[in-house]
Amino acid sequence: MCGIIGYTGDGDHVMDVLLTGLSGLEYRGYDSAGVAISEPERTAETEPASSRAGVASTPAEPSAVAGDVTVHKREGELAALEDALPDGSVDGAAGIGHTRWSTHGPPSDANAHPHTDCSGHVAVVHNGIIENYEELREELAADGHAFESDTDTEVVPHLLERELARGADPEAAFRTAVSRLAGSYAVAAVVAGDETVYAARHESPLVLGVGGDGHFLASDVPAFIEYTDRVIYLDDGEFATVTPTGVRIADERGNTLETSVETISWDPEDAGKSGYDHYMLKEINEQPEAIRDCLRERVEELSGSVSVSELDDVSLVRGSATDGDSTGRLRPVQFVACGTSYHAALYGARLLRERGVPAQSFLASEYTTDRVPVSAETVAVGVTQSGETADTLRALREANRAGAETIALTNVVGSSAARECDHVTYVRAGPEIGVAATKTFASQQVALAMLAAALTDGGSQALVESLRAIPDGIQRVLDETNARAVAREFVDSDAFFFIGRGYDAPVAMEGALKMKEITYRHAEGFAAGELKHGPLALVTEETPVFATMTDSQSGGDGLSKILGNVREVEARGAPVVAVTDQPEAVGGSADHVLEVPSVGPAFTPILANVQLQLVSYWVANELGRSIDKPRNLAKSVTVE
């Protein structure tokens, strides 16, 4: 993994399109980048052959076939690849590019994609993990194929090479090669002298772009949104042939499939920085508008009702009242998610439990139906920003196989989760480029609040008023925050603690995750009551504790309980930062206060989270970190 771009069209602009596409995929995280272009037919005696995959601009032996594949790739950022490109453009009608996040083998020029066959006439890029690559590698080596990298991907061009040598045409050779792969993959290939990009997917995303002057494929829409907003989403088991004049989708036997073209509702400006220094800061500031979009047409203030049309067919009541088999009991709801989305799922499960629904949250990587009771009565909700998170997709597929009714709560229209689940609810946060999720977390929380209301009591006037107050409350935080000053005071700290109770606990966990992701400093977040069960041993005068204390605290004595936890850390000399809507009640127990407006017991923590996002951002900024592309992390984790 991590990002794929492909283009067929205007031969004078292939390289420019590929580099633009790779730039649009940088947000996903990567440690090397590369491109391959299939050159048009030529006379081998009069034109030099291209490189054999490894180092940019290194000549290989002259080719004996018409056309060739030119490959350039480099470890490091995209700028390193651009610096390595020769003067002048490389002509060609088809090209592929890749940003790699290391899985097999360390970052290096040799391990960077694209990878080629022995002759250098086939180039391949791949996301995912080929589980049987060692077996295939041994088989191909026995046939005389030589390998130059540590990657699992390199077996694919050699499989293609073997099928071409046996007389297969490129499309048939590609299908046969892919049929030998086990695991997850999105794979794309070009062949010398051919103006087609061949692609296939299995449990790793690929989307096609339908343009006027050519056609595209990519891991994600931002790679080509500058050129077209018309897309086709590839499903598992489908193959695509992309040419300058059109695209064709086929099954594994080569039979053409009917497809529909969808139009993306956002434009290239939505994915820009709009004058901000970082995408993350821009996206933090976009949260009021993102939440307004999430609420649009789903809440009715006059009637005090919440209606999520996508969930109209979902009932949490066991059995059916019409056939006399209704028990009146509520069906169990199981949330599956990873990372930030898991913290949102914890929040959503608590909302449902307070409405009497038996709801649990599971880390998707730990969710297996042989250990978790799942049946046709179960409702499984997958919370995933991208809709492509491998662990979450696997969990949802297990739930499906066990007969559960599945709901995807995602930000990406047409994503795998959206297409595979029985129902889908979109959070409508718009494109999020920064690796560290910000506006999508807030939008997930709001969407989960509406989901909980829509599936239970239908909402109330007080609920709707609170939801409507969230965007203005966040804007007030953004306008009045003193998070930057707090960040400057604690920028040299080696560790941070984040604590909270009730609905504040998931926010504390998310605050710690943000601090870890973008500052590379140690941070822990947990329910405040857990302090005395171990973490207190790590608290020192150099360990700032961020205590989220809003009116969401569980029980009438919730605030007094967390104040007791605060005094525990103060007794050890730790500085305390209170994030609260009750500064008069907690100010005397804190060294600093980050104030938020009160917008209702379940929703004020959403505003508190914005303060914690800003603290992490400004600490990372003071440290000079790569905020939008933190080391070792990918935006969409498409491997388990």
Which residues belong to the active site?
A: 2, 635
Instruction: Output the 3-class SS for 211-233.
Output: CCCEEEEECCHHHCCCCCCEEEE
Please give the Cα distance from 77 to 3 (Å, whole number): 13
Identify which of 415, 576, 557 has the alpha carbon closest to the alpha carbon of residue 496.
576
Please give the Cα distance from 266 to 269 (Å, whole number): 8
Please give the Cα distance from 291 to 442 (Å, whole number): 7
Please give the Cα distance from 252 to 403 (Å, whole number): 27
Instruction: Return the bridge partners of 210, or none.
Output: 215
Number of neighbouring beta carbons within 10 Å of residue 214 = 24
Identify which of 528, 457, 451, 539 has the alpha carbon closest to the alpha carbon of residue 495.
539
Cβ-contact 549, 562 below 8 angstroms: yes
Report DSSP letters for 377-439, one per residue.
Answer: T-EEEEEESSS--HHHHHHHHHHHHTT-EEEEEESSTT-HHHHHSSEEEE-------SSS--H
- Rounded to the nearest 10°, the torsion over CA 72, 78, 80, 86 is 40
Contacts of 245 (CB under 8 A, 6+ apart): none
- Rounded to the nearest 10°, the torsion over CA 76, 440, 613, 607 is 180
Number of neighbouring beta carbons within 10 Å of residue 167 = 8
**DSSP three-state, residue 301:** coil
What amino acid occupies position 226? E
Identify which of 181, 161, 248, 250 has the alpha carbon closest to the alpha carbon of residue 208.
248
What's the number of CA atoms in the CB half-sphere (13 Å) around residue 487?
20
Please give the Cα distance from 375 to 369 (Å, whole number): 9
What amino acid occupies position 63? S
How many residues are present in the chain? 640
Please give the Cα distance from 204 to 185 (Å, whole number): 5
Contacts of 205 (CB under 8 A, 6+ apart): 186, 219, 220, 234, 386, 388, 415, 416, 636, 638
Report DSSP letters for 525-586, one per residue.
Answer: EEEGGGGGGTGGGG--TT--EEEEE-TT-SSTTHHHHHHHHHHHHHTTT--EEEEES-HHHH
Task: Check the CA dihedral 271-274-277-282 and report its sign.
Answer: negative
Contacts of 366 (CB under 8 A, 6+ apart): none
Q: What is the DSSP letter of 270?
A: G
What is the largest distance, in Å, between two alpha-carbon atoms of the chain? 86
Cβ-contact 342, 361 below 8 angstroms: yes
Please give the Cα distance from 612 to 602 (Å, whole number): 17
